[in-house]
Amino acid sequence: MGSILNNRANRVYEEITRLYPLAHCELRYSNALELMIAIILSAQTTDLAVNQVTLKLFEKYHTFEDYMNVELSLLEQDIRHLGLYKNKAKSIQGMAKIVYEEHKSIFPNLLSDLMKLPGVGRKTANVFLAEWYKIPRIAVDTHVSRVSVRLGLAKKDDSVYKIEDKLMRKFPKDQWIEMHHKLIFFGRYFCKSISPNCTECPLIDICKTPFPR
């Protein structure tokens, strides 16, 4: 059984790499603070929408103090075009305050420490660790979860934590970061939630839910 699972993982890696050899984080940022804010803002919305908002946001605010000292209502208005903007504005201010006061403006590089920050869950922390510190992690979002189940890398009733654990067991550690991005690209642009491109999918033979559904 183990060799079968390894063969499946190898096949998934090879085919998705052919489709998206340059898969990468699509959020735009120039420093750690901007990256963390962009990730927080990306919850339940698209990277494209986030990039449109942060284009102006990052021109207006530059430091931890900027986000800490602005009136919350003003920050809410700056990100009002994104879903859950009130909660996200509050999380950004809280996160900035803690990192500035308790960590001297340097983000911790431990998952447990990052998850103590407002607005930072396991997925957000994993994305940050992989993208900024290049620490091997696989963050599980809706795309990664959906694709993993469809391709038989996880089960339908698996929690995101279980899926993360299974993916890290199936893929070599030096592939974790790139595999995270490739699974996202595959789920975002090819194996979509609605109307997936099954007719041209190179992995249709191992898909657990092939077209027609």
Over the stretch 182-207, which tens digit does the pLDDT of each residue have? 999 999 999 999 999 999 999 999 99
Sorted by where each begins, the domain ranges of the chain are 2-23+138-206, 32-132
Place of tokens 């391709």: 151
**Torsion angle (degrees, nearest 10) of CA 39, 40, 46, 49:** -100
> Phi and psi dihedrals of 154, rounded to 5?
-150, 170
Mean of pLDDT over the chain? 95
Is 123 a residue of the active site? Answer: yes
- How confident is residue 97, by pLDDT bands cut at 50, 70 and 90? very high
Is 174 a residue of the active site? Answer: no
| pLDDT value for 5 | 53
- How confident is residue 1, by pLDDT bands cut at 50, 70 and 90? very low
165-168 long-range Cβ contacts below 8 angstroms, 24+ apart: 167/138, 167/140, 168/138
| pLDDT value for 7 | 87
| pLDDT value for 184 | 97
Which residue is catalytic, options 123, 166, 170, 182? 123
> Mind listing the pLDDT tens digit for each residue in 53-83?
999 999 999 999 999 999 999 999 999 999 9
Q: 1.10.3720.10, 3.40.50.300, 1.10.340.30, 3.40.50.1820: which CATH number matches 32-132? A: 1.10.340.30
Which residue is catalytic, options 78, 141, 166, 182? 141
Q: 1.20.1050.90, 3.40.50.150, 1.20.20.10, 1.10.1670.10: which CATH number matches 2-23+138-206? A: 1.10.1670.10
